[in-house]
Amino acid sequence: AQKSIKTHPFLVSVDNITGQWSIVGYNHEDIKNMTAAQSMQESVLTRFVQYWFWISSSDIVNSALWRKCNRTTDCGLETEKKGIDVEGDCAIYCLTNDSLYDNFTENMLPLYKNIANNNSVWQVDMQSIILTPISPVDINGGTWQVQATVYQNGGNPVEILGYAKISLSNKEYQKTLGYYISKFNAYKMN
């Protein structure tokens, strides 16, 4: 979450009497404190962006990534693997609600299939992802701005600006501690 590109070693000192911890050494003023809810939402949103804009050269990977699944058997913690054993299997379905997944299959999937049929490959530069909360982030979710670069073979990188609403469901989305993307819009910036 810190996206640190430098290593700054430090020591943690523990007071024998009080048990108080303190950092000794390098001044880590760049480290930001975040809640567990914010950290989980950043993790879910990062994976979502990675999979939403991923078009593989493999039809098997694309089929696995885009397929509709069962939230209990394919997306739960105790998932008995019944699908295709590839990275991203059921990823878009398991990270979104039914409404957003339906929007994906109606609007994005035909475009993505056409791109894949033309032997084009898309992949998000994971180092380029910038997530900015634009509403208060709490235990129930939040609204985020997303910036990322998508690379495509045979083409220039595409800068993406998006907005995502993250929601919480205590009954579903066990792998993400209940968090899922309930709304998402993205725009090509160049």
Q: Tens digits of per-residue pLDDT, 47-99?
A: 999 999 999 999 999 999 999 998 877 887 654 555 556 678 899 999 999 99
pLDDT at 118: 92
Share of the chain above pLDDT 90, in %: 62
pLDDT at 7: 54
Q: Tens digits of per-residue pLDDT, 152-185?
A: 997 899 999 999 999 999 888 878 888 999 999 9
Residue 9 above 70 pLDDT? no
Q: Is 112 helix (H, G, I), strand (E, B) or coil?
A: helix
- Asked if residue 140 lies in contact with residue 111, where contact means CB atoms within 8 angstroms, the answer is no
Query: Tokens 């509403």 appear where?
Result: 135
pLDDT band at 2 (very low <50, low <70, confident <90, very high): very low
Nearest to 41, CA basis, from 185, 168, 190, 171: 168
pTM metric for this prediction: 0.80
Q: Is 84 helix (H, G, I), strand (E, B) or coil?
A: coil
- Asked if residue 95 lies in contact with residue 69, where contact means CB atoms within 8 angstroms, the answer is no
Round to whole Å and give the CA distance between 92 and 96.
Answer: 6
